[in-house]
């Protein structure tokens, strides 16, 4: 359970919307000084009242008849989202997705760093991608523990994903971003976010028919 | 607006859950014959009543005291999700994400095909990835129209994404899967699904603190 300023539990859907707010404030910062909840809602695709409710969990940023001060709110969101805190990441699986995430600079604008990649394929072990080494997956547990890794990105085939997540959790990982096309068998309270590309494609295929 | 069997509007959240049901039925098919709404809910992380409500939009598949026949429901979901209909895809942007999606066999188990990649970089034009040709982005509009492309995957930088989506829509694309880290400026009714990797990472960073 994640709690807001006054101790109320913040729903997961609200947390998942915060990075959107951040992206918009980052983009608006040099364009305008303040924005109304109505206009902000139009931008991110929700109502004015939803915007006010979402942001109220974290304190009272807006002012009646004035709106939100963009610089100030962006600064607050940086703190709330811990964008300026050093977070250590690893990627398990150095296949197409793992490699693309390493090459594509996902962590720019944050203080997050990618410490290592892991793979089961002996031919890949020791290779470096953008300066990040691929290690043998046998070393995964020890590495996570010794280096106090915060978040792991799982980009392994479906059948291996649950074994990997068990090793990660046993060794103190705090959160998982899962690209494998299944729902990980972890405790409900454990922080997991999923990116299921095929689900999005199937939903689109349905929507266009 | 997408309507169900009896003409009621199906909420987008329900549509987005259907591929999950499909994945589970596909996996369960060779393991058991039937499953209760309670057990199905436990698996996919919702309540029994949510499962019954979700599936009721598409007709009456369950039977009181028996549950859902897995083979039959999977077959229905294949029809509902149009997994067995030929859909033509393209990917715009042959950078890290576009290349990874081409190499990673996202369309296996479906009748969807990837017809082309597009990029602005002259050095890439003419190259083939897994047999799929990279074309000049200048040819995008004509290609979409002439080949009746159904869905485009946008994997270009943020600043180019809205121009690309405008070209796609003008030339008859029916849906977009967007990897660029912004919300596309399209009509609300136009089918778009977003995969914002950085949003998931920021949400996790917040959740673990």
pTM of the model: 0.83
pLDDT higher than threshold 80 for residue B160: yes
User: Of residues A19 and A151, which shows the higher confidence score?
Assistant: A151
Average pLDDT over residues B20-30: 86
Q: Which of residues 136-195 of B touch A (CB under 8 A)?
A: 150-151, 174-177, 181-183, 188, 191, 193, 195
Q: pLDDT at position A9, please? A: 81
Nearest to A115 by CA among A91, A139, A86: A91
Q: pLDDT above 90 covers what percent of chain B?
A: 47
pLDDT higher than threshold 70 for residue B1: no
Q: How high is the mean pLDDT of chain A?
A: 89
Average pLDDT over residues A12-33: 86
pLDDT higher than threshold 80 for residue A191: yes
pLDDT higher than threshold 70 for residue A154: yes
Fold entry, domain B87-200: Rossmann fold (3.40.50)
Q: Which 3-state string (H, E, C) describes B123-170? A: CCCCCEECCEEEEEHHHHHHHHHHCCCCEEEECCCHHHHHHHHHHHHH
Q: Does B95 sit within 8 Å of A19, measured CB to CB?
A: no
Say how far apart CA B156 and CA B94 lie, in whole Å. 8
Average pLDDT over residues A147-157: 97
Q: pLDDT at position B128, please? A: 97
Flag whether residue A199 sits within 8 Å of chain B, measured between CB atoms.
yes
Residue B106 has its nearest CB partner, among A82, A198, A209, at A198
Lowest-pLDDT range, A70-74, B145-149, B166-170?
A70-74
Residue B206 has its nearest CB partner, among A80, A99, A205, at A80
Residue of A nearest to B98 (CA): A100
Fold entry, domain B12-80: Arc Repressor Mutant, subunit A (1.10.10)
User: Of residues B30 and B149, which shows the higher confidence score?
Assistant: B149
Lowest-pLDDT range, B36-45, B53-62, B153-162, B198-207?
B53-62
Q: pLDDT at position B13, please? A: 83
In order, the DSSP letters of B42-107 are HHHTS-HHHHHHHHHTT----BTTTBEEHHHHHHHHHHHTTTTS-EEEEEE--SHHHHHHHHTTTT
Rounded to a whole number, what is the distance in angstroms from the first to the last CA of chain B? Answer: 39
Nearest to B107 by CA among A166, A69, A204: A204
User: Of residues B53 and A1, which shows the higher confidence score?
Assistant: B53
Residue of A nearest to B83 (CA): A202
Flag whether residue A96 sits within 8 Å of chain B, measured between CB atoms.
yes
pLDDT higher than threshold 80 for residue B165: yes
Summarize pLDDT for B43-80 with one digit per residue, the tens. 887 888 888 888 888 777 777 777 888 888 888 888 88
Q: pLDDT at position A2, please? A: 67
Q: pLDDT at position A82, please? A: 82
Nearest to B104 by CA among A140, A129, A93: A93
Q: pLDDT at position A163, please? A: 97
Q: Is the ipTM of this complex over 0.85?
A: no
Task: Dihedral sign for Cα A97, A99, A101, A103, please.
Answer: negative
Summarize pLDDT for A163-183 with one digit per residue, the tens. 999 999 999 999 999 999 888
Ranked by mean pLDDT, the top range of A58-67, A108-117, A145-154 is: A145-154
Flag whether residue A198 sits within 8 Å of chain B, measured between CB atoms.
yes
User: Of residues B3 and B129, which shows the higher confidence score?
Assistant: B129
Flag whether residue B4 sits within 8 Å of chain A, measured between CB atoms.
no
pLDDT higher than threshold 70 for residue A1: no
Q: Enumerate the domain spans of chain B.
A: 12-80, 87-200
pLDDT higher than threshold 70 for residue A114: yes
Count of Cβ atoms closer than 10 Å to residue B175 Cβ:
23
């Amino acid at each position: 359970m994640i709690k807001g300023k006054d101790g109320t539990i913040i729903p997961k859907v609200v947390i998942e919307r915060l990075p959107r707010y951040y992206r918009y404030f980052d983009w608006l910062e040099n364009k305008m000084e303040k924005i109304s909840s109505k206009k902000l809602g139009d931008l991110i695709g929700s109502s004015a009242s939803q915007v006010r409710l979402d942001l109220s969990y974290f304190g009272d940023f807006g002012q009646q008849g004035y709106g939100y001060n963009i610089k100030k709110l962006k600064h607050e969101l940086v703190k709330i989202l811990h964008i300026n805190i050093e977070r250590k990441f690893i990627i398990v699986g150095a296949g197409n997705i793992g490699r693309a995430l390493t090459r594509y600079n996902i962590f720019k604008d944050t203080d997050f760093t990618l410490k290592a990649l892991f793979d089961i394929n002996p031919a890949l072990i020791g290779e470096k991608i953008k300066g990040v080494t691929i290690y043998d997956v046998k070393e995964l547990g020890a590495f996570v523990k010794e280096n106090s890794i915060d978040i792991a990105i799982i980009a392994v085939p479906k059948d291996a994903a649950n074994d990997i997540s068990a090793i990660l959790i046993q060794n103190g990982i705090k959160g998982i971003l899962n690209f494998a096309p299944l729902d990980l068998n972890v405790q409900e309270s454990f922080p997991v976010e999923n990116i299921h590309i095929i689900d999005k494609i199937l939903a689109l295929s349905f929507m266009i028919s």
